[in-house]
C-alpha cells in the first residue's frame, strides 16, 4: 500500500499515559480519543496509538473507537506493535518496533492494503524495513531526547540526510527531540516529515502547529526549486 500522503507528513504518537488500571471510562482513555478527534480536524497525516502499559482489551477498545473517528478522514491510524489488534479494530495498519515481528511477516499475513511503519535507528534497519515491504520508516533519534537515550547517541541530521537520500522516494520520517524550530532542518535533510509525541500532544494548539509545519514544508519546496 503506497503511503499516499502529501509531505510534510505529520505523525502524532500518543504519550503512553494509560496504565494496566485504565478502562474505557478512565479520564486518560477519553483524553486520547479527544486528541484523535482534534488531530483529524487538524489534518494530521498519521496517528500511532502507542499505549504499551494498557491491557490488550483496552488497546483494542481504544483502536476501535479511534478508527471510527479517523475512517472518513485523510488521517491514517496505526497501532503500535499489535497488527492483530489493528486489523480486528479496523485501523489502517501497524507500527513495528525493533522487537516486533519483521515487516515481511506482517505484509504476508495482512496483505497489500495494510499500512506498515517501522522504527529504525540505522541504515541496516531502514533498508531491511523497505525490503520487507514496509510503507515507511521512522528514523532517529535525530536530536537528543530523554525518551530515546536507550537507543544511544542521536543520529544527527547528517545521518538522516544519508538515509533519506539513499532510500528515496521511500518515505523516511524523522523522530527524536523535534520541536518546531527543528522541523525545517529535518525536511531540508530529506525527511518526508516528522514524528513526535510532545510536539503534537497539546490538543488546543494542534491545528496551528500543523498549519505552521505545512508552511515550513512549502517554504522548503521553494528553496529546493531555487
pLDDT in tens, 120-145: 999 999 999 999 999 999 999 999 88
Per-residue cell: 144 = 537528543
pLDDT category of residue 219 using cuts at 50, 70 and 90 = low
pLDDT one-digit tens code per residue, 13-53? 999 999 999 999 999 999 999 999 999 999 999 999 999 99
Helix, strand, or coil (residue 103): helix
What's the rounded Cα separation, in Å, for the pair 6 and 21? 38
pLDDT at position 1: 45
pLDDT one-digit tens code per residue, 67-95? 999 999 999 999 999 999 999 999 999 99
Per-residue cell: 183 = 522541523
Nearest to 223 by CA among 174, 187, 182, 179: 187
Q: Indicate the domain borders of the chain.
A: 9-225
Predicted confidence (pLDDT) at residue 218 exceeds the cutoff of 80: no
What's the rounded Cα separation, in Å, for the pair 186 and 205? 21
Predicted confidence (pLDDT) at residue 198 exceeds the cutoff of 50: yes
pLDDT at position 146: 72
Helix, strand, or coil (residue 204): helix
9-225 CATH fold: TIM Barrel (3.20.20)
**What sign does the CA torsion over 159, 79, 19, 200 have?**
positive
Burial class (CB in 10 A: 0-12, 13-18, 19+), 139: buried
Predicted confidence (pLDDT) at residue 107 exceeds the cutoff of 50: yes
pLDDT at position 147: 63
Residues whose CB falls within 8 Å of the CB of residue 223, separated by 6 or more in sequence, listed in order: 188
Nearest to 175 by CA among 211, 208, 200: 200
* 176 DSSP 8-state letter: S
Q: Between 218 and 183, where is the model more confident?
A: 183
| Cβ pair 123, 138 in contact under 8 A | no
What mean pLDDT value characterizes the chain? 93
| R_g (Cα) of the chain, nearest Å | 16
Among 108-117, 184-193, 202-211, the range scoring the smallest mean pLDDT is: 202-211
| Cβ pair 175, 140 in contact under 8 A | yes
Predicted confidence (pLDDT) at residue 225 exceeds the cutoff of 70: no
What's the rounded Cα separation, in Å, for the pair 108 and 24? 33
pLDDT at position 173: 98
Per-residue cell: 19 = 496504565
pLDDT category of residue 149 using cuts at 50, 70 and 90 = low
Amino acid at each position: 500500500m503506497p503511503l499516499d500522503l502529501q509531505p510534510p507528513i505529520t505523525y502524532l504518537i500518543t504519550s503512553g499515559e494509560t496504565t494496566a488500571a485504565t478502562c474505557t471510562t478512565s479520564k486518560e482513555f477519553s483524553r486520547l480519543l479527544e486528541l484523535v478527534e482534534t488531530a483529524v480536524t487538524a489534518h494530521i497525516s498519521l496517528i500511532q496509538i502507542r499505549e504499551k502499559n494498557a491491557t490488550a482489551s483496552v488497546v483494542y477498545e481504544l483502536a476501535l473507537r479511534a478508527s471510527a473517528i479517523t475512517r472518513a478522514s485523510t488521517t491514517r491510524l496505526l497501532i503500535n506493535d499489535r497488527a492483530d489488534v489493528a486489523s480486528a479494530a479496523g485501523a489502517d495498519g501497524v507500527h513495528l518496533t525493533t522487537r516486533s515481528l519483521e515487516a515481511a511477516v506482517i505484509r504476508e499475513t495482512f496483505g497489500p492494503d495494510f499500512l506498515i511503519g517501522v522504527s529504525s535507528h540505522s541504515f541496516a534497519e531502514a533498508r531491511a524495513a523497505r525490503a520487507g515491504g514496509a510503507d515507511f520508516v521512522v528514523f532517529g533519534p535525530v536530536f537528543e531526547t530523554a525518551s530515546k537515550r536507550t537507543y544511544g547517541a542521536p543520529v544527527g541530521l547528517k545521518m538522516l540526510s544519508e538515509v533519506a537520500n539513499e532510500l528515496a522516494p521511500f518515505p523516511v520520517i524523522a523522530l527524536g527531540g523535534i520541536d518546531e524550530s527543528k522541523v525545517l532542518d529535518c525536511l531540508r535533510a530529506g525527511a518526508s516529515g516528522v514524528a513526535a509525541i510532545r510536539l503534537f500532544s497539546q490538543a488546543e494548539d494542534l491545528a496551528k502547529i500543523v498549519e505552521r509545519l505545512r508552511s515550513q514544508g512549502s517554504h522548503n519546496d521553494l528553496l529546493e526549486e531555487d
